[in-house]
Amino acid sequence: MQNIDRKLLEILQDFEGKFASSISQDEDNVEIFDDFTVEILDDCADLFTDFFVTLMPQILSRDLDIDEFSQLAKAANIHEFSVALTEHQSRYPSIVMFVDTLDSSMCAWEPLYGAIRLFFDEKRISQITNRNEFLLAAKGYFNIEGVHYDYQPLMRKELIELRKCMFARLSEIEVISGLINQGSQTNQVYRAPLVAFEGSTGGLENELVQWIANINDGSSLFDDEDFESLSDQEASPDPNMEALKSYWLEKESRNSTMFDGFVWQVIDANATVDLDLGDRSSFLTIHVLSQIRASWQQNPGIDEIEKDYYKISLLRTGLREEYDSAMDKSLLALQVLMFHENTNIAVEKIEGEIAWIRLKENDYPLVGLDAQAIQAESRLFLDSQ
């Protein structure tokens, strides 16, 4: 670690004179830096990055943890770099003075993480052989989210390869997917890892739906005050549940519609709707509600934002024999009917779907039914209440 810092300080020493020479005085005799000084800092960052690239094989072979590097070496933004320089102010006063004038919107300083991304290109990511290698690569790519660039580096192919890595966990896959979706143009289908489910997975709908609501900000069309987001501190996640979440992400990536430039987008999840049964009352939970909306990634110049077409998804996490298919069809019919009555959206523009998450299958049992037939279909569920 000391050798790393020694090299970085040598680079700074070489640049101190350049920063000093860029200082001039204004008409009030106040010291100011020339406009091109930030380019000098960029050159300094490039040398830091080049040095770190040469260290990558050593970091991997010795299994070094970059979180244990000095603050100077692991600075992830210009603010952290400024803090790291404070103890070296006497040696590099001009550099310290200039860096103190900057904020994160003026300079992207992350040489270590840039070096990681340079080292872990698309090919090398595809050759990752263990969890530690993946974590190192992920640190490089994850850092881009908190750094300002005038022109965001193009990393789509690398991120897609990183997302496919067998050592990636679900929470990491979600972060990578978010980075891919930032300003990217994509029709890519996310493919969930192949897993072997253990035992029954029926009845996990509530937990899965809460998670879906959570990743969609928990917004509720019906202002459900009883929504509770899942805790991110789950000590021992259920492997079956983790697989179901991953399968849901794959389903969501297959969101094309009949309209060019439009996709199905989740607009609500875990929404509770009151059900008036005369002498008693109950409620229904709509698992997932989607709407056909414009895809800015596929068609950024599109003027129309959304279309009045909706999809209600009734999720089923187990196998078919674990559920009453007739009752599910009736429940879905009632949900479609109630959404129609609450919104005045024509029944013909509301699609009812039973999504078999574990099986990666979708059923559309209400296709071809008009409002009257859907109402008749809903009686089975109503009579059972």
Residue whose C-alpha is closest to residue 176's, from 149, 157, 153, 150: 157
Kindly report, residue by residue over 55-73, the tens digit of the pLDDT. Answer: 999 999 998 999 999 999 9
pLDDT number for residue 216? 77
pLDDT at position 226 over 70: no
Alpha-carbon separation of residue 20 from 15, 107, 141, 214, 385 (angstroms):
9, 19, 34, 51, 80
Q: How many Cα atoms are found within 13 Å in the side-chain-facing hemisphere of 149?
A: 13
* pLDDT in the model for residue 7: 94
Highest-scoring range by mean pLDDT, 33-42, 226-235, 306-315: 306-315
What's the confidence (pLDDT) of residue 185?
42
Burial-class residue 61 by CB neighbours within 10 Å (0-12, 13-18, 19+): exposed
The most confident of the ranges 42-51, 214-223, 266-275 is 42-51
Residues in contact with 160: Cβ distance below 8 Å, sequence separation at least 6, in sequence order = 180, 188
Of 42-46, 129-133, 150-154, 173-177, minimum mean pLDDT range: 150-154
* pLDDT at 302 exceeding the cut of 60: no
pLDDT digits (tens, 9 = 90+) for 240-288: 998 999 899 888 888 878 777 788 889 999 988 776 666 666 678 899 9
Residue 328 is predicted with a pLDDT of 95
Residue 285: phi and psi, rounded to 5, are -110, 115
Give pLDDT tens digits for 71-117: 999 999 999 999 999 999 999 999 999 999 887 666 789 999 999 99
Beta bridge partners of 363: 354
- How many CA within 13 A on the CB side of residue 335? 27
Taking alpha carbons only, the member of 64, 47, 59, 58 closest to residue 109 is 47
Q: Which pTM was predicted?
A: 0.52
Please list the alpha-helical segments (H only) found in the chain: 2-21, 37-61, 71-74, 78-85, 93-99, 111-119, 122-126, 131-142, 156-164, 170-181, 205-215, 239-253, 325-343, 371-384
pLDDT exceeds cutoff 90 at 136: yes
The DSSP code sequence of 144-196 is GGGS--SS----HHHHHHHHH-TT--HHHHHHHHHHHHSS----PPP-PPP--
> Which sign, positive or negative, has the C-alpha torsion 36, 41, 43, 46?
negative
Task: Report the chain's C-alpha Rg in angstroms.
Answer: 27
What integer is the mean pLDDT of 370-376? 92
Give the pLDDT band (50/70/90) at residue 233: very low
Check residue 219 and give its pLDDT. 41
Tell me the C-alpha distance between 330 and 315, whole Å. 14
pLDDT value, residue 220? 41
Does 50 score more than 80 pLDDT? yes
